[in-house]
Structure 1
């Protein structure tokens, strides 16, 4: 669908840094064209500068099972069940990196799995009302027959549990709310919708 407006229809008046730590916060002042004509008033918004990230759903087509990870997440400390979330592999895109390079790197770091075939899934804005974070999702084919139990980088304070889950287990988790983060939900549902059209063969 062709959109009525594009990037040329927004005027960024100013943006100023508010905070810089592990992440950054900036204030934007901008205006944009309106559907019924003319320009909007100047809008001020504080934006969480999260950057671009990559997510990888690891799948073993030979054993028909998925490699997932579990770790404690600070954003989920108020979760009524547990802040240890079941997730797919994920990582930030560093300067000079391409998303596919991050996918291979993070799979090794977070699960010790070597992806032998990478399939592009989709990309999406996480929460564009308040953050710049954009996610590129991939399906990574792996051999899960010799999984490690734990993984992660000590210098990034990662304490990761590696899990191999059958298709039945994943579907049960999806049905009962056991998968509660957006990236994993989107990736697994995309897989289920597109599996019949995917080429899941490849050299291991």
Structure 2
């Protein structure tokens, strides 16, 4: 870990460059250098997304996962389709919400699922070169025997297809490069490594 702290940054300007569905802030800043002294003044824009949560629903009885498919504006240039298979996910937008509660709420809204046990997979910055999003990633135990279908909040413009996928099929998709978003890649690789131990705990 670097020895630098927040105090090793100087901000000369901090302003709202854009306010819409999300916010972008523009900074003029500089920071200390490894070789000593201060670097030159830099102009940087920061996509303000804030903390978010992702959940991989897993049923240890049926040995299936659930992913949600929906349109993503960031994937409009994707040759195959801008509809992506992803985790259940949502933004933590209230100060009194904790990540686990948000994960359970989003599972109900996006896939009609009740989550019982939860395992923390990781916490990380999604893309710190230009966004402040900090991501909390979980695997949640649920019953997928009758899951799947169409969900989402109309007032938020959501149109979500929840799909149940057998574990073996999900791993084949992963190996074939058909899973192409970072949060799903991390969660599915984690499940591949921890599935047996997870099933022993959850089926005991």
**TM-score of the pair, normalised by structure 1:** 0.93
1:48 aligns with 2:47: yes
**TM-score of the pair, normalised by structure 2:** 0.93
Residues 55-83 of structure 1 deviation map (CA, whole Å, 9 limit, x = unaligned): 00110011111011111111111110011
1:162 aligns with 2:166: no
**Corresponding residue for 1:144?**
144
**Corresponding residue for 1:85?**
84
- Further displaced range: 8-17 or 110-119: 8-17
**Corresponding residue for 1:185?**
185
Q: Is the 8 A contact 1:119 1:139 kept in 2?
A: yes
Give 3-state SS (helix, strand or coil) of 1:115's partner.
coil
Instruction: Please list every run of 5 or more consecutive structure 1 residues that lacks an aligned counterpart in the other structure.
Output: none
Q: Is the 8 A contact 1:141 1:200 kept in 2?
A: no
**Corresponding residue for 2:6?**
7
**Corresponding residue for 1:62?**
61
Residue-pair matches, total? 202
Give 3-state SS (helix, strand or coil) of 1:136's partner.
strand
Give 3-state SS (helix, strand or coil) of 1:4's partner.
coil
Q: How far has the Cα of 1:200 moved from its partner?
A: 5.7
**Corresponding residue for 1:130?**
130
Q: How far has the Cα of 1:6 moved from its partner?
A: 2.2
Tell me, in whole angstroms, the C-alpha distance in 2 between the residues paired with 1:15 and 1:193: 43
Q: Is the 8 A contact 1:11 1:31 kept in 2?
A: yes
Residues 125-170 of structure 1 deviation map (CA, whole Å, 9 limit, x = unaligned): 1111111111110111101011141111111111111111111111
Tell me, in whole angstroms, the C-alpha distance in 2 between the residues paired with 1:13 and 1:150: 48
Q: Is the 8 A contact 1:86 1:178 kept in 2?
A: no
Instruction: Please list every run of 5 or more consecutive structure 2 residues that lacks an aligned counterpart in the other structure.
Output: none
Tell me, in whole angstroms, the C-alpha distance in 1 between the residues paired with 2:188 and 2:202: 20
Q: What's the C-alpha RMSD, in Å, of the aligned pairs?
A: 1.6
Q: Is the 8 A contact 2:56 2:65 kept in 1?
A: yes
Q: Is the 8 A contact 2:89 2:106 kept in 1?
A: yes
**Corresponding residue for 2:175?**
175
Tell me, in whole angstroms, the C-alpha distance in 2 between the residues paired with 1:195 and 1:11: 46
Q: Is the 8 A contact 2:52 2:136 kept in 1?
A: yes
